[in-house]
Amino acid sequence: MYRPTLGMLLLPSLLLLGVFSYYPAVRSLIGGFYAWNGFSPPTYAGVSQFKQYIQSPTFSAEVAHVLILVAGSIAITLVSQFTAAEIVTHLPSKTGRVVKYVLVLPIVFPPLVLIEVWDYMLEPGTGLIDRIAADIGLPHPAWLSDPHTALAGILLIGFPWISNLGFLIFLGGLQNIPKDIADAARVDGTGFLQRTFRIDIPLLVPQFRIVVILSGIYAVQNFIPILLLTNGGPGTATLVPGLDMYQSAFQNDQYGYGMAIGTLLFVIMLAFTLIAMRALRPRTG
């Protein structure tokens, strides 16, 4: 009786990956070198579209904005989600299990729903955050409509920033720390902070590396909240390369120019990933 080989069984999946994942990626990398409006045949443009973007009047502002978002996203993720994972790990088993499920529940909600909820909460004057701030006597800026606070408003989305993949990565790492190490630390009288900085963090360097890379890439790619809430404004206060790429391709029919921006983002994210992997290697010896 004929038995299909492993290669034959994997062939349909590999074909689907090639058609819907790898082909679009390779096509985008090549497309940045061609001027194309989506209708007429592409014409070779060399690196002119890359130069056009780098020399555009908004380029420096876009780079500054995305650097702020990347740094803020990484800092928020590392502090909030690692802290939450530490607290849940040290809770009694039943309580910790309930808290864990509650904290990860927002992950299953569609992102667009959460963005709309935060749009309501950040509404100047009538939003929930402004009303709470007014009740307790705190200043309540215009958030998304003020050029000076718009990026802070984007970073505020998701507060307290716990319900995310990073929390599960840290929690899994903490729960897999060998029990004898935890018992030895307890016998030595190691306190919570000492254990966190001397045992947990050094042992979780691989998890920190993964979270830093994922947070950085996500911050660069995720322009959806900006598109829905500010569309790059007010003015260009929240304009980022991802949104510029989207607007160029799908609003201005400059598909080649948009793919050139996407290619630059790919190169930057690849360099960021390699640097983070090298900088956050586990130290041995």
Tell me which DSSP letter residue 104 carries.
H
Predicted pLDDT at 246 = 93
Residue 3's pLDDT band (boundaries 50, 70, 90)? low
Predicted pLDDT at 159 = 79
Burial of 133 (0-12, 13-18, 19+ CB in 10 A): middle
Distances (CA, A) of 265 to 36, 51, 163, 232: 19, 14, 27, 18
Q: Which residue has the tokens 């500010």?
A: 230
Identity of residue 18: G
Which carries the bigger pLDDT value, residue 105 or residue 173? 173
How does DSSP assign 176-202, residue by residue? Answer: TS-HHHHHHHHHTT--HHHHIIIIIHH
Digit-coded pLDDT (tens) for 80-132:
889 888 888 878 777 877 887 788 777 777 888 888 888 888 887 777 877 88
Strand ranges inside the chain, DSSP E: 34-35, 43-44
The CATH H-level superfamily of 24-279 is MetI-like (1.10.3720.10)
pTM: 0.85
CA 185 to chain centre: 34
| Cα maximum dimension of the chain | 79
Degrees (nearest 5) of the Cα angle 52, 54, 57? Answer: 85
Average model confidence (pLDDT) for the chain? 84
Q: Is 4 left (phi over 0), alpha (psi -120 to 50) or beta?
A: beta
Residue 4's pLDDT band (boundaries 50, 70, 90)? low
Digit-coded pLDDT (tens) for 21-35:
788 888 888 888 999
Distances (CA, A) of 123 to 131, 134, 205, 236: 10, 13, 39, 20
Residue 2's pLDDT band (boundaries 50, 70, 90)? low
Q: What is the dihedral of CA 189, 193, 194, 198, to 10 degrees?
A: 140
Question: Where along the chain do its domains lie?
Answer: 24-279
